């Protein structure tokens, strides 16, 4: 497969408060964004960032913060998660999500009725002896007091239309619009969360990188720990063990976050013909984003306020 040229840029994000939050709403090669979708994305980023930062400001944990931010985006139809997520080849929404905090993780794939897949993943972490549940039964939603909705609740007219177009073209739509968040709290703990519908027209049972620890999601405390949420073409992120590769570059090579992200995208994703982006937070609260696609939808705090970007 031909190597993809790294066309993205990366940003160094400073620690301005006793905590830091960085969120993303997906990376991809987006040719056009309707004014309505742009509005949804900007609003979603702003509201999600505010929700996550409020938790951190109030002394909440990094895990609480990343879940709060992701829950807001799961309610926003502009992103590929929660309501408005992509449809699989059978026109069903199958969500994947993961969280990681203090060295432990929880993940679900093929979730079809949890209103907030990220909270389902968190419940796997906090309420089960396991770390990853595939096609989890709905009975767990009741057992764990999680909101259950009909699968139709997640299906939007726009996604149904998109599925028809993709199926008529006998294609797999390039994935984008996954959401994620990384944070460090006042106690210095790092957390990451990622939530997605995956790839439009995917085969039933297809799992992307988002719920796979070390591929699309990662968080480790300690002097060289990092928290990572990835987005992009999941198959290549799995094959490149992207999130753990970034952690390894930071821990064993001492690379700065942006260089670790950029190098990993180039060597592990670009060389496989894939694209996408990562948000990374270090244990000192500095953060970075890197991507090799035209868009990296994200938000973080700067000296002059919250910066949201769609490009
Ligand atoms: N990485 C996700 C997946 O392949 C999709 C995305 O990031 O948009 O399932």
- CA 175 to ligand 1: nearest atom: 8
Among 188, 169, 200, 180, residue whose Cα is nearest residue 23: 180
DSSP conformational letter for 78: T
| pTM of the entire predicted model | 0.96
**Residue 106: CA count within 13 A, CB half-sphere:** 19
**What is the per-residue pLDDT for 28?**
81
- pLDDT per position in the chain (311 positions), as tens? 434 445 566 677 889 999 999 999 999 887 777 888 899 999 999 999 999 999 999 999 999 999 999 999 999 999 999 999 999 999 999 999 999 999 999 999 999 999 999 999 999 999 999 999 999 999 999 999 999 999 999 999 999 999 999 999 887 677 788 999 999 999 999 999 999 999 999 999 999 999 999 999 999 999 999 999 999 999 999 999 999 999 999 999 999 999 999 999 999 999 999 999 999 999 999 999 999 998 899 999 999 999 999 87
Instruction: Name the residue of 26, 196, 291 whose CB sits within 8 Å of the most ligand 1 atoms, as the mutation to test its pocket.
Output: 196
178 is catalytic: yes
The yes or no reply on domain 8-309 and CATH 1.20.210.10 is no
Residue 140 sits at the vertex; the CA angle it makes with 201 and 156, to the nearest 5 degrees, is 30
Choose the residue to mutate in 209, 218, 243 for probing ligand 1, maximizing ligand atoms within 8 Å of C-beta.
Answer: 209
Domain definitions of the chain by residue range: 8-309
Taking the CA of residue 19 as centre, how many other CA atoms within 13 Å lie in the half-sphere pointing to its CB? Answer: 26
145 CA → ligand 1 middle, Å: 27
Q: What is the DSSP string of 226-259?
A: EEEEEEE-HHHHHHTTHHHHHHHHHHHH---HHH
Cβ contacts of 105 within 8 Å, gap of 6 or more:
98, 99, 125, 131, 132, 213, 217
């Amino acid at each position: 497969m031909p190597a993809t040229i790294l066309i993205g840029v990366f940003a160094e994000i400073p620690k301005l408060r006793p905590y830091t939050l960085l969120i993303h709403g997906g990376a991809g090669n987006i040719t056009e964004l309707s004014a309505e979708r742009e509005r949804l994305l900007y609003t979603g980023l702003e509201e999600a960032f505010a929700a996550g930062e409020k938790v951190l400001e109030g002394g909440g944990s990094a895990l609480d913060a990343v879940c709060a931010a992701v829950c807001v985006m799961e309610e926003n139809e502009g992103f590929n998660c929660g309501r408005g997520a992509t449809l699989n080849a059978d026109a069903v929404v199958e969500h994947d999500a993961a969280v990681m905090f203090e060295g432990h993780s929880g993940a679900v794939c093929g979730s079809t009725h949890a209103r907030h897949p990220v909270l389902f993943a968190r419940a796997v972490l906090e309420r089960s002896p396991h770390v990853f549940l595939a096609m989890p039964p709905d009975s767990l939603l009741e057992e764990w007091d999680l909101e259950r909705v009909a699968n139709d609740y997640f299906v939007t007219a726009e996604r149904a239309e998109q599925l028809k177009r993709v199926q008529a073209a006998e294609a797999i739509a390039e994935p984008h619009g996954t959401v994620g968040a990384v944070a460090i709290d006042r106690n210095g703990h790092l957390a990451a969360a990622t939530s997605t519908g995956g790839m439009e027209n995917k085969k039933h049972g297809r799992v992307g990188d988002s719920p796979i620890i070390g591929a699309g999601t990662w968080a480790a405390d300690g002097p060289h720990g990092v928290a990572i949420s990835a987005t992009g073409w999941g198959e290549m992120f799995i094959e490149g063990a992207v999130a753990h590769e970034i952690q390894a570059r930071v821990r064993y090579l001492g690379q700065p976050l942006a260089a670790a992200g950029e190098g990993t995208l180039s060597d592990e994703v670009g060389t496989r013909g894939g694209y996408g982006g990562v948000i990374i937070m270090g244990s000192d609260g500095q953060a970075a984003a890197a991507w090799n696609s035209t868009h990296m939808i994200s938000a973080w705090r700067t000296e002059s306020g919250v910066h949201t970007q769609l490009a």
